[in-house]
């Protein structure tokens, strides 16, 4: 059996020596594919248009709450945020293709987060 394996290996090596272009093709195509993929897909996202509906904002002005702190963490170079007072209007503009998505923050966001952390703390104490 070893002689058959040796013969197959020698046959394949002879074919590779005779056909260098195939060998180069086999090694270069994956390198080119990975390079093109990284160039096209691997970049950081910039200037993505997002609609914002913040239910915690009072008359369009954000108050001191967790939603404001969360929104301040968003990098303005990556995401362009446009605020809306009506969730349905923001959704309609997304459906029309003017924005990628809606960031929807309901009016009880801060209280819901505080309640969630309170539950976690109670769970940890047990």
Encode pLDDT of 81-114 as tens digits. 999 989 999 999 999 999 999 999 988 888 888 8
Per DSSP, the residues of 31-85 read HHHHHHHHHHHSSPP--EEEEEEETTSBTTB--SSHHHHHHHTS-TTTEEEEEES
Instruction: Report the SS3 class of residue 122.
Output: helix
Q: Model-level pTM? A: 0.59
pLDDT, tens digit, 9 for 90 and up, residues 65-74: 888 888 888 8
What is the length of the chain?
A: 126
- pLDDT digit string (tens) for 34-62? 999 888 887 788 889 999 998 887 655 55
């Amino acid at each position: 059996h070893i002689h058959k394996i040796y013969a197959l290996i020698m046959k394949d090596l002879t074919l590779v020596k005779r056909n260098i272009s195939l060998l180069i093709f086999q090694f270069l195509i994956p390198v080119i594919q990975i390079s093109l993929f990284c160039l096209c897909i691997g970049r950081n996202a910039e200037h993505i248009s997002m609609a914002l509906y913040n239910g915690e904002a009072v008359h369009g002005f954000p108050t001191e709450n967790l939603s404001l702190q969360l929104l301040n963490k968003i990098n303005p170079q990556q995401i362009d945020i446009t605020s809306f007072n009506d969730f349905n209007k923001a959704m309609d503009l997304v459906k029309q293709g003017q924005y990628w998505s809606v960031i929807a923050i309901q009016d009880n966001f801060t209280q819901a987060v505080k309640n969630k952390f309170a539950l976690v703390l109670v769970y940890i104490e047990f």
